[in-house]
Amino acid sequence: MDNYHYISTDVLSLEQLQEITTQNKTLALSEEAKVNIQKCREYLDKKMQSHDKPIYGINTGFGSLCNVIISNENLSQLQENLVKSHACGIGEEVPQEIVKIMLLLKIQSLSYGFSGVQLITVERLIDFYNNDILPVIYTQGSLGASGDLAPLAHLSLPLLGEGEVYFKRQKVQSKDVLDQFGWSPIVLQSKEGLALLNGTQFMSAYGAHILIKATKYSYLADLIGTISLEGFDGRQEPFNELIHFIRPHKGQIVTANRVNNFLDGSQIIAQEKAHVQDPYSFRCIPQVHGASKDAIDYVKKVFKTEINSVTDNPNIFIESDQIISGGNFHGQPLAISLDFLAIALSELGSISERRTYQLISGLRNLPAFLVDNPGLNSGFMIPQYTAASIASQNKQLAAPASIDSIVSSNGQEDHVSMGANAATKALRVMDNLERILAIELMNASQAIEFRRPLQSSEFIEMFLKSYRAEVPFVKEDRILHYDIVKTVDFLNSFQIEEELFN
């Protein structure tokens, strides 16, 4: 039973989310979740038998059509029409690892028993998750209010035997996969389509995915920055804890302490220095990296709340006998946080590129462009161009999406979060940071070779030995594109300790 994760009212952490997805745990509903779902559905069915007044999205049209009353015999068709009509996403496909998180988070949200869905509907979503049946979803189409309507419509289409899915690494028609498993399409009942489409699971899944990766690359930024410090023959005094205790931002203290641990036992850092100070990109690593850490920690808190929330509309409250239409689908908390996260990650890339620039500048007894016989060899001249280009793109992508809004649905939905756009561009910033840090590692590891026979710390030397097994020292010019790709792959494969998520 160790490979099962039971969906319940227990708080789901980002660390657990990562464990569930990376260890391919099988999902199952707890008995508590089953009861919550069934009680809510039974309440709604009884309510609709005796209730003839309009209830938004249950016996009315949607959006600005909220005043159009729908007869009871058409309630199922209303929900099916909703899913089909809203499946108008376009653009690039959402990465499959994010689609899988979307499925998990939609199941989690529906399991609390405030949404009125059928048990069979949630169980079918679990079947999709457990069998790696991943709906084809597109990145463009959500305004991040009324929830992620278009992406979640595409997530829901396969329940009806519509749309496409990836199954066994092939894109196939959903109907064919349902036939293969002997499953009949779900017949949606009142409110179900709205419960499936209203929600923030597109934004939430992107955010969770980025945060898991950001935690790792915040650590790697510290490690690679420390290797650059060694390659640049930098000073250790700026990492003295006394400096940071009198300006006690948590991230700043954590960064300085981590760098000191990385440097423990290094001959390079211990040697006498000819210079009094280092440039800010080295000296201010604790302050800059620390600020990004604190931003990441804040965003984690927002997303931990979100992935443990009910975000569809209207919501059904059995104990108070109320069905209330509100706005929990509005993505503003996520949009602002995703913009903040993009800025924090962009800054890690910005300062990384500056360290790369310093390393190739022919300073501190390093050869120009970190290669013997410069002139005949261009060495690491142009990877810095690449890093600079990517860092500048990140600055452009870090312009906030959350300050934008546009009127939709005939003015009914007159303020939207644009959180979906914030999510997709935050992922691009994250992927770009990975490449910038890979380029810095290439340069830093090359620079350290010019400090021989002095050794860095045991930890850094072990890390570099593993890296050198993938990307050898550059003696003369070669095609560095392949080195960048191999370095990115090396960083991707690098494992960090679980406690970093705390």
CATH at residue 188: 1.10.275.10
Are 154 and 265 in the same domain? no
Are 165 and 272 in the same domain? no
Predicted confidence at residue 58, as pLDDT, reads 75
Q: Check whether 55 has a pLDDT greater than 90.
A: no
Average per-residue pLDDT in the chain? 94
Number of domains comprising the chain: 2
Task: Specify whether the backbone of 325 is left (phi greater than 0), alpha (psi in -120 to 50) or beta.
Answer: beta
**91-96: which pairs have CB atoms within 8 A and are 24 or more residues apart?**
91/138, 91/139, 91/140, 91/141, 92/138, 92/139, 92/140, 93/136, 93/137, 93/138, 93/139, 94/137, 94/138, 94/139, 94/151, 94/202, 95/209, 96/134, 96/166
Which ranges constitute the DSSP H helices of 163-284?
174-181, 192-197, 201-231, 241-245, 250-263, 267-270, 280-283
Instruction: Judge whether 319 lies within some domain.
Output: no
Predicted confidence at residue 153, as pLDDT, reads 97
The domain of 25 spans 4-199
* Portion of the chain with pLDDT greater than 70, in percent: 96
pLDDT-based confidence at residue 500 (cuts at 50, 70, 90): low
Predicted confidence at residue 99, as pLDDT, reads 98
Which one of 199, 221, 252 terminates a domain?
Answer: 199
Q: Check whether 18 has a pLDDT greater than 90.
A: yes
Cβ(442)–Cβ(491) below 8 Å = no
Question: Residue 343 contacts by C-beta under 8 Å, 6 or more apart in sequence?
Answer: 295, 398
Are 15 and 151 in the same domain? yes
Instruction: Judge whether 416 lies within some domain.
Output: yes
- Residue 281, both tokens: 């990109």
- The CATH number of the domain holding residue 486 is 1.20.200.10
pLDDT-based confidence at residue 498 (cuts at 50, 70, 90): low
Beta-carbon neighbour count of residue 75 at 10 Å? 18
Are 137 and 270 in the same domain? no
User: Cα(462)–Cα(286) distance, rounded to whole angstroms?
Assistant: 23
Higher local confidence (pLDDT), 355 or 54 = 355
Predicted confidence at residue 489, as pLDDT, reads 98
Are 135 and 260 in the same domain? no
Instruction: Judge whether 54 lies within some domain.
Output: yes
Dihedral angle of Cα 34, 35, 37, 38, to the nearest 10 degrees: 110
User: Cα(301)–Cα(31) distance, rounded to whole angstroms?
Assistant: 28
- Hey, which residues are catalytic here? 56
Are 143 and 186 in the same domain? yes
Instruction: Judge whether 220 lies within some domain.
Output: yes
Instruction: Judge whether 321 lies within some domain.
Output: no
pLDDT-based confidence at residue 5 (cuts at 50, 70, 90): very high
